[in-house]
Each structure stands twice: as C-alpha cells, then as structure tokens.
Amino acid sequence: MMGGDALLLPLCMLAAVTLRLGSLEQALDTAPQVQLTLALLTLPVLGAAGLYRTVMRYIDLRVLAASSIALGVEVLLIYTLAAAFQVHVLPRSAVLIFWFVAFAYVVTSRFVARALLRRGLRPSGRTRLRTAIYGAGEAGAQLAHAMAFSTDYKAVCFFDDRRDLQNKTVAGLRVYSSNDLAEGVFRHEVAQIVVAIPSASSAQKKHLIRRVEGVGVPVKILPGLLDLADGQAGVSDIREVDAVDLLGRDAVPPDPSLFARNIAGKAVLVTGAGGSIGGELCRQIVSQRPRKLVLLDHSEFALYSIDHELQHAVRTSDTEVIACLGSVLDEALVHSILAHHGVQTVYHAAAYKHVPIVEANAQQGLRNNVFGTLIVARAAAEAGAETCILVSTDKAVRPTNVMGASKRIAELVFQAAALRWSGRTVFSMVRFGNVLGSSGSVVPLFRRQIRAGGPITITHPDIIRYFMLIPEAAQLVIQAGAMATGGEVFVLDMGEPVRIADLARSMIRLSGLTERTAENPHGDIAIEAVGLRPGEKLFEELLIGDDEVPSDHPRIRCARERHVEAALLDKMLQSLRQACDANDSESMLRQVRNLVPEYRSADEVNAEASAALAARSQAS
C-alpha cells in the first residue's frame, strides 16, 4: 500500500498543479522537487491516520474519514506556512486541489482493492445463497453489508412496508414493496428470505412471518435487538424461524418486588431441578441472589448439567449452590435437606409428565406425582418453610389420563396442606399449559421430520394446545408464589391456543417446502394423523370452574377450586397407597376416580369434542 501510494501520490500532485495551471508542460516545469516532497510527506500523514494498519479487505468509511481529515490538516498546514513565509514556488490553490485529487485516489484505490480481495477470498465454484432481506432499515442495511463479506450468502434485494423506502436503493440493492414479494423473488431468483426487523414486537414478527411464509422459499430471521451483539447485525445472527416467533406473544417484564420477594437473601429449594421447568426456575432464581439454592433431582446427569451451569453463573455472587441427588419419594432425605439447609422457599417441580408413559406406568406415576408431593408438603411444614409452591399443569383440569389426575391429586394435597398448616407455611399452586422447548416438545420433533423428508406426524388434525415460553413460565411461577396467601390455584395466561396441524404447516412453508395432500400430490412433506395417544384429549383447559379473579399481575389469574378436607383426604390417600403397593390397576383407577370425580376416559371426552366440532362445521 505504501509503495503504491509513493508512486501515485506524486502523480496526484502533478494532476493538481496541471488543473491549476491548465497545462501539463507548465506543471512539469513548476518546482518538480517541491511537488515530489509534498506528495511524499502525505505518506506519514496517512500512516498516522491508521490507513496502513488496516486490513484491506475489511477497510471501512471510518478509516477513510480519518485519512481525509489527516490530509486536510496537512494541506491546511502547508497553506498556512506558505502564506506566513510568502512562499510562491507553487500556486497555493494547487495544494487545495491536491487534497481533493489525493482523497479521490485513496478512496477509489482502497475500495477497488477491497472488492478484488473479497472476490479472491470466495472459494472457486462455490455458489452463494441468493438472499432477500425483509426490512431495509438499519439492521437490514448492516446485514446486506455483512453479506458482502460472506462466502455463504449474497444479498440481492430488499422488501419493506415503508413507502418512503420502496423503489429506492439501500446498500446498493433495490427495495421492493412487501406487496411485490412474489415478483421480487422471481426476478432475483431468491433462494431464501431473512426477516431483519429486530425492533419489531413479537406480534409484529408473527405478522411479518405470516406474510412471507407462503412465497415458497425458506424463511429465516434476525433475533431481537437485545440479542444482537453491540446492536450490530451480522450473518452469524441469522437463525431459523422458531415456533416462538409464530406465537406472537410479548413477555411482560417481571415485577421486581414480586420477583425477589421469596428469593433474595433466602435459602431456596427446587425439586426436579434438572427438568425443563425446574432448570429454568433455577436460572431465574440465581438472578435474584438467594443466600442458598438447593437442587434436588433423581437424575444424576440432569443434576450435574444444571449444577455445572449454575456454579458458573454464581461465581461473582455470594449465592451457594448445593446439588442433592435423590428422589422426592425419599422422605428422610427430603426432611434432612429442608432442615439442614434452613430452606425458606420451596418450588416443587419434580413430576413425571409424559402422558403416554405415565398412562402405561400408572403405579410409578401416582407414587412420584402424588406421594412425592405429599412428602414435600409435610417436610416443608415441619421444617417451617415460609412458602411452598407446586408447579401444576392444565392436564389436571377435568383429566382424561393418569398423569393429569395425579397432578390434580397433588393440587388437592397442597390445598389440604394450606388448611392444615395455615399460619406456618403458605402453600399455593401454579397451573399452566405446554412450554416450548421442553423435553418432548413437538417443535424439535417436527424440525427433525422435515429434515428427514417427512412425513410430519400429528396425533389428530383438530388437536390444539396452549403454549408458553419456558423463561416466561418460570418468571410467572415465581411471581405467582410471591402473591400467595394460602390455598390459591394460580392460572397463567397462556394466550390463544395453537392448532398443532397449523403449526406443522407453518414450519413446512417456512422451510421453503409445500405440503403433500390429495389436492397437491407432488408436494414435499405430508402431514399424517397417527391417532391420539392413550389418555390424550383434543382440547386442554386451565380452569375447572368459573370462580376466578384477577391478581396483581396482568398474566396471572387466581382461582379457588373444590378441595377435600384434610382428614378425609388422608383416608383416601391411604387407600390409593395400598392400591399402588399392590400394583392393582383397577383398584388404583378406582381410588383415583374417588379423589378426582371429574376424571373421565379420554375416548368419551374426545368423542364429545369431535361431535361438537362436526356440528359446528355443519352449522357454518
């Protein structure tokens, strides 16, 4: 770079003098040594501005701007000295012209060299993915510039809803109206679309994704502004559209006073700490700086994983993290943990939750979910814990399977504990639906099936489920527990239910593929209904009755539901325990029905739901 400038900057000075005098011959005769000296003095000036320390293929406008300022300072200094000492060897205005000529040379030469070097970096024969960017704002422009460096992507056009940008050029690319998606994709042979509007809300992102998913090419997305490093959008930030983006649900920031009330400076126990919800509860809890966090899980690997993660997270705080391996069915262990560590707050998340597995292993499901809960409740009260919160599920509402019924009995246990130990420990329950990203979630399953070429398997074309993000669910569980006074069932606002078949179709379209149906036999991916699993019902509910009231949080409702007197519940649980000990399936189900009268077979409930759907379809 210095060698090239040493040759060409004197020519820039000669060009400046020629422009001033109007004759090349006259310029060559006008103080050539002075021209050469002044031109070569520019080299250390540009070096001081950082021009020669910059990697050429990554040079940007900031370096060139610094070089421009340095050149200007040099010209101004020469001009001032010439005027002060009355030096007339060269026309002084020629020096000013040199600034323009030299700067034009520096900018042009660097950008040409950068373009040649970047082209040389690309592997020969490798085709870059032609990419359209939805969103021609700051993030979209940054992404287009970043793709100029990329060996994998090539930005070819923009789409945007803003009329002031449409039919304009941003980062050298044309901006199309969002109404012209099909035309732009066809004209530029677009292979994928990236939605690059990180400032959009979740609801806005959902709307944008819905607009582009039907174009027939894969759709990806840039994360939100908080997830972008230093607010800069790069190629590495591009990710696949997830079901999270399709929910269109903006999380409500946690209330700091509620969030820290039962945690800050206290000893906290989380059962089932290695699970999806238990693990996220632990992450949220350590952010509130408890004095001690005790983890209990019966899976050694799950416990190791969450303990390793949390130990790293608390290195700079005073929080002590203690991992305890064992089951909530080990009564002596649970009592010892609560007493030894002086636990003040308990989050009971340990449960078997997979419906078909618990249905096929009713004895173990009932033992863990019911009697494990009973042990935790008793131990919390006897140890003098301040608060004990049960993590429940929407499947406990009018259950059609053993898992749901076991969780409803667990709620009854906590309701009875709230009455029995009122004034000593506050017992409450938090009920919510499915969480995205938990073990067994449909989203990773659908993605694997799409990559394998299909088919996508769903249980029933009409099945719907409530979904929530794991971090939001954990935050709301903590805040609901902080509002408890004893015996409440808190119900989280899950938003609108999602039809699983529609979710599968969206994921197919977002992958740039088409659904294979009877009307479209040449489609890419088929969706097959394989039948409801044992105990599974079409629609889930969150409330047993209509007796609900709002709480102090916009996403949390409070319900007071039917309970069983503590003495009667003890007798009924004893009968259930005897049935479990005998592993008598019929006796177990009979005792479950006694405890949960609303428990019905899934076949009966689904037949009623299907009949209602058919009647609604005929009416419409």
Give residues with Cβ within 8 angstroms of 256, minimum separation 6.
none
Identical fold, 129-241 and 256-606: yes
Q: Are 178 and 160 in contact (CB under 8 A)?
A: yes
Residue 465 to residue 536: CA distance in whole angstroms: 11
As a whole number, mean pLDDT of residues 193-208 equals 81
Residue 131 to residue 158: CA distance in whole angstroms: 9
Give residues with Cβ within 8 angstroms of 608, minimum separation 6.
none
User: Which of 172-181, 294-303, 345-354 bottoms out in mean pLDDT, i.e. has the lowest?
Assistant: 172-181
As a whole number, mean pLDDT of residues 416-442 equals 81
pLDDT at 235: 67
DSSP secondary structure string for all residues of 482-511: HH--SS-EEEE---S-EEHHHHHHHHHHHB
The helix/strand/coil state of 241 is coil
On the question of pLDDT at 488 being above 60, the answer is yes
On the question of pLDDT at 469 being above 90, the answer is no
Q: Are 564 and 595 in contact (CB under 8 A)?
A: yes
pLDDT at 584: 93
Residue 551 backbone dihedrals phi, psi, to 5 degrees: -110, -170
Buried b (16+ CB within 10 A) or exposed e, 468-482: bbbebbbbbbbbbbb
What digits encode the pLDDT tens for the residues 503-518? 888 888 878 888 888 8
Handedness of CA 240, 470, 472, 431 (dihedral sign): positive
Kindly report the average pLDDT of the chain as a whole number: 84
Residue 92 to residue 113: CA distance in whole angstroms: 32
Q: Are 543 and 432 in contact (CB under 8 A)?
A: no
CATH classification (class only), 256-606: alpha beta
pLDDT at 357: 93
Write the secondary structure of 318-354 as one string of H (helix), E (strand) and C (coil): CCEEEEEECCCCCHHHHHHHHHHCCCCEEEECCCCCC
pLDDT at 480: 87
Q: Which of 101, 83, 131 is nearest to 35 (CA)?
A: 101
One of 3.40.50.720, 3.40.50.1820, 1.25.40.10, 3.30.750.24 is the CATH number of 129-241, namely 3.40.50.720
What digits encode the pLDDT tens for the residues 373-396? 999 999 999 999 999 999 998 888
Handedness of CA 20, 23, 25, 29 (dihedral sign): negative
Residue 374 to residue 409: CA distance in whole angstroms: 10
Q: Are 121 and 58 in contact (CB under 8 A)?
A: no
Tokens read off for 564:
């069983």
pLDDT at 256: 83
What digits encode the pLDDT tens for the residues 231-265? 555 666 677 776 666 666 666 677 888 888 999 99
Residue 14 to residue 550: CA distance in whole angstroms: 82
On the question of pLDDT at 326 being above 90, the answer is yes
What digits encode the pLDDT tens for the residues 83-140? 776 667 778 788 888 888 888 888 888 888 877 776 665 555 567 889 999 988 888 8
How does residue 440 score in pLDDT terms, banded at 50, 70 and 90? low
As a whole number, mean pLDDT of residues 299-323 equals 93
Q: Which helix (H) or strand (E) segment is 96 a member of?
A: helix 92-121
How does residue 226 score in pLDDT terms, banded at 50, 70 and 90? very low
pLDDT at 542: 53
Q: Are 35 and 14 in contact (CB under 8 A)?
A: yes
Q: Which residue has the higher pLDDT, 526 or 59?
A: 526
Q: Which residue has the higher pLDDT, 559 or 395?
A: 395
Q: Are 144 and 173 in contact (CB under 8 A)?
A: yes
How does residue 31 score in pLDDT terms, banded at 50, 70 and 90? confident
Q: Are 129 and 44 in contact (CB under 8 A)?
A: no
Residue 166 backbone dihedrals phi, psi, to 5 degrees: -65, 140
Residue 64 to residue 72: CA distance in whole angstroms: 12
Beta-strand runs (E) in 517-601? 525-529, 548-550, 556-559
For residue 539, the number of C-alpha atoms closer than 13 Å in the C-beta half-sphere is: 15
Q: Are 56 and 110 in contact (CB under 8 A)?
A: yes
pLDDT at 415: 93
pLDDT at 118: 66
What digits encode the pLDDT tens for the residues 450-462? 888 889 998 888 8
Residue 191 to residue 407: CA distance in whole angstroms: 48
Domain ranges for the chain, please list them: 2-121, 129-241, 256-606
Q: Which residue has the higher pLDDT, 398 or 115?
A: 398
How does residue 347 score in pLDDT terms, banded at 50, 70 and 90? very high
pLDDT at 207: 81
Q: Which residue has the higher pLDDT, 325 or 437?
A: 325
| DSSP strand pairing (219-221 vs 239-240) | antiparallel
As a whole number, mean pLDDT of residues 414-439 equals 84
